[in-house]
Every structure is written in structure tokens, then in C-alpha cells.
Amino acid sequence: MTFGGLLVRIGAGLALIAMLALALWLYARAWAPSRDDYPVQGVTIGSADGPVDWGTLAAQGADFAYIRAVRAQDGRDPAFAVNWRGARAAGMRYGAVIEFSACRSPIDQATGFMTTVPRDNAALPPVIRLAFSAGCARRPGRDLLLSNLNTLINLVEGQAGKPALLNVSEDFDAAYDIGSGINRTLWLDGNFFPPDYASRPWVMWTATNMRHIDGVDGPVRWNVVAR
């Protein structure tokens, strides 16, 4: 084979790889689990997602929306009130999310939730998101973390009138084994493949954080409920 022929083959191979990568990227952008397996599916929305066309989002098959109310490091999500009203107006089920921080008092965090999220009997159970964030390097011992988390749970549940769900990332669960420490419904993460990292079965799963869907400018966290 001539050197020129070798270059042609290399170029063709690189072009094929690029085409396959593009096809996989486009597939990942549109992918969601089968409705046959998971009939109830929805999104997590916060201010980072920008303005949301809630009517369009509902029409695209989002059955529910969990709306971020309190961010881990800097308090209230500035888009919460707008998103809360939008989800209700679109006829979707809706609930609130608070992001836990090991760097802030659980009482301060609960106060942020209680002063942001209105009492609403129609709302879904509240969610506490447990994940390490770049803005908090503190790693308390397990006993202290579970104690602080229990304080937060009790205050949030008192406001909501419903038991909370715990949305636990894999690395956070590896560090603190939340499933064996606190008896609450688990919501786990895992792009494209059902998660298996907790000590108890999950009820909700963030199946992808890459999905692009009409109504939101950019990728969303797409969640499903186990049968």
C-alpha cells in the first residue's frame, strides 16, 4: 500500500469514527427509558435550565416536575416561584427539591426551604438531594452527617406534611451509606443503566442528565418511577 493510500484509509476511518460519535451523541440527547417499563416519567428543573415553556414540556411527555427550591451553597433558587406556578398551570404533578450541604446548618437549610416552598397539599413529597458539591469541601463523620440530615428531614417533612425522598448520588452513598442509615424512599442516579449502588431498592431513578426536550433550552435531568 502506498503512503497516499494509507492516508486515505486513515482519513476514512477517522470520518467513520466521527460519524459514529455523532450518531451516539444524537441518540443520547433523545433517549429516555421505555414507557412500557417506566410509565411515569418527568424532569428536574432549576434556574440553570433557563426559562421553561411548561405547556410544551408537558406535551412532550413530562408527567411531573421536581423543581429546585434551595441550592446547596447559596440558598433559594431564584427561578423557583416562576417554575412552581408554571408546572401547576400546565397541569403537571410538581414537587420541591432542596440540595443538602454539609457546610451549612441543617436549621438554616430548612428555614430556606420553609420560607421558599408554600404549603400545598397537592404537591408531591419533598426531595432532599444528597451529592457532593464543588463549593463545599467539608466531609463530616457519618454519625454527624446522619444527625444533621435527620434534623433537616424532620423540619422539611413538618413543612410539607409528607415523608421526604432522598435523591442520593453514587459517591455520596459510597461515603455515607444513606440507605442503611435513614429509612426513607431512595431516588438514585445512573445515566442509561438502572443504578445498583444503594443498600436498599430505589423507587425513582434519574435515567439521564443528557436529554434534550422541547420546552427547555439545554439538557435536563430525566427521571422515572419504578413500577
Secondary structure of the chain as H, E, C letters: CCHHHHHHHHHHHHHHHHHHHHHHHHHHHHCCCCCCCCCCEEEEECHHHCCECHHHHHHCCCCEEEEEEEECCCEECCCHHHHHHHHHHCCCEEEEEEECCCCCCHHHHHHHHHCCCCCCCCCCCCEEEECCCCCCCCCCCHHHHHHHHHHHHHHHHHHHCCCCEEEECHHHHHHHCHHHHCCCEEEEECCCCCCCCCCCCCCEEEEEEEEECCCECCEEEEEEECC
Q: What is the mean pLDDT of residues 202-220?
A: 95
Whether the per-residue pLDDT at 145 is higher than 70: the answer is: yes
**Predicted TM-score (pTM) of this structure:** 0.89
Predicted confidence (pLDDT) per residue in 61-75, tens digit: 999 999 999 998 778
Q: Identify the CATH assignment for 35-225 out of 2.60.120.10, 3.90.850.10, 3.40.50.410, 3.20.20.80.
A: 3.20.20.80
Q: What is the mean pLDDT of residues 96-104?
A: 97
Whether the per-residue pLDDT at 14 is higher than 60: the answer is: no
Predicted confidence (pLDDT) per residue in 182-210, tens digit: 999 999 999 999 999 999 999 999 999 99
- With a pLDDT cut of 90, the percent of the chain lying above it is 83
Q: What is the mean pLDDT of the chain?
A: 91
